């Protein structure tokens, strides 16, 4: 069988429609109708991707996503949220919880399959040459451990915040446009607006406190990490 995808969806018709189209593309599929059954299945076997509905009968998709990333400490498995809520605030909440992408209902099964294939291609690409340990001023970044500290004090970041900080700090002095940041941490054709990056940056700087000044805004262009 192909790559294993867990569909966490409580609407049988939608779950079956997604399953049929994914099976046609050679994927292996497991349907979970609620959060409980999903976590039971996750303890048995980890999938290659999780397709997660935002609204479930027993727990929300945001809660499930956060638990997967924190309690199960799974950072490498892509999570794609499926939601009827297309507001930017809802999208940001999903990304901050650790989601890699999102699809709004109603959606085309062909477009969904294309999005998933794009994610798998992105995951399979060779990782950029970023050092495992970065120390700049008061900020220390452990890439492999997914850890950040400021003056020796641990700072808890979301996956998106960590990815942005790692990208900028690995190339100090380089200016990245918002579009480049979206492309670098999410992949091609990611549909979150560039404005979302500004929201992520506000949260990141707030968590870094005084060290947030190491991330500079280049007016009209984007962001960069200080080189000294």
Structural domain boundaries, residue 176: 133-225
CATH number at residue 90: 3.40.50.2300
pLDDT given at position 127: 47
What are 37-87's pLDDT values in tens digits? Answer: 999 999 999 999 999 998 899 998 889 998 888 777 677 788 998 877 666
pLDDT given at position 131: 57
Question: Quick one: 19 and 102 in the same domain?
Answer: yes
CATH number at residue 199: 1.10.10.10
Question: Quick one: 119 and 138 in the same domain?
Answer: no
- Under the banding of pLDDT at 50, 70 and 90, the label for residue 29 is very high
Which region among 88-102, 110-124, 144-158 has the lowest average model confidence (pLDDT)?
Answer: 88-102
Helix residue ranges, H only, the chain: 12-24, 35-44, 61-70, 88-97, 109-124, 159-170, 178-186, 195-208
Of 96, 124, 152, the residue that ends a domain is: 124
What are 78-95's pLDDT values in tens digits? Answer: 899 887 766 677 777 777
C-alpha to C-alpha distance for 155 and 207, rounded to whole angstroms: 7
Q: Is pLDDT larger for residue 4 or for residue 95?
A: 4
Structural domain tally of the chain? 2
Of 75, 100, 124, the residue that ends a domain is: 124
pLDDT tops 50 at residue 126: no
Of 97, 124, 151, the residue that ends a domain is: 124
Exposed, middle or buried by CB within 10 Å (0-12, 13-18, 19+), for 85?
middle
Question: Quick one: 111 and 144 in the same domain?
Answer: no
Question: Quick one: 146 and 178 in the same domain?
Answer: yes
Question: Quick one: 114 and 18 in the same domain?
Answer: yes
For range 3-27, the mean pLDDT: 94
Question: Quick one: 8 and 120 in the same domain?
Answer: yes
Question: Helices 159-170 & 88-97, crossing angle to 10 degrees?
Answer: 80
Report the predicted TM-score, pTM, of the whole model to 2 decimal places.
0.61
The chain-wide mean pLDDT, for the chain, equals: 85
Question: Quick one: 106 and 196 in the same domain?
Answer: no
pLDDT given at position 94: 78
Question: Quick one: 103 and 140 in the same domain?
Answer: no
pLDDT given at position 189: 47
Question: Quick one: 204 and 183 in the same domain?
Answer: yes
């Amino acid at each position: 069988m192909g790559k294993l995808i867990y569909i966490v969806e409580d609407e049988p018709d939608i779950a079956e429609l997604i399953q049929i189209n994914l099976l046609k593309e050679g994927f292996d599929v497991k349907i979970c109708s609620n959060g409980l059954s999903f976590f039971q299945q996750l303890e048995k076997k980890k999938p290659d991707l999780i397709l997660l509905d935002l609204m479930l009968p027993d727990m929300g998709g945001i809660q499930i996503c956060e638990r997967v990333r924190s309690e199960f400490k799974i950072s490498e498995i892509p999570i794609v949220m499926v939601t009827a809520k297309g507001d930017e605030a809802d999208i940001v909440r999903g990304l901050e919880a650790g989601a890699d992408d999102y699809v709004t209902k109603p959606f085309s099964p062909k477009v969904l399959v294309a999005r998933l294939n794009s994610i798998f291609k992105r995951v399979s690409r060779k990782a950029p040459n970023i050092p495992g340990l970065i120390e700049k001023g008061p900020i220390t970044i452990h890439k492999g451990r997914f850890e950040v500290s400021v003056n020796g004090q641990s700072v808890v970041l979301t996956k998106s915040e960590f990815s942005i900080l790692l990208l900028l700090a690995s190339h100090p002095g380089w200016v990245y446009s918002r579009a480049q940041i979206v492309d670098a941490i999410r992949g091609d054709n990611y549909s979150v607006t560039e404005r979302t990056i500004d929201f992520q940056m506000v949260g990141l700087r707030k968590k870094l406190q005084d060290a947030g000044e190491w991330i500079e805004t280049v007016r009209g262009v984007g962001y960069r990490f200080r080189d000294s």
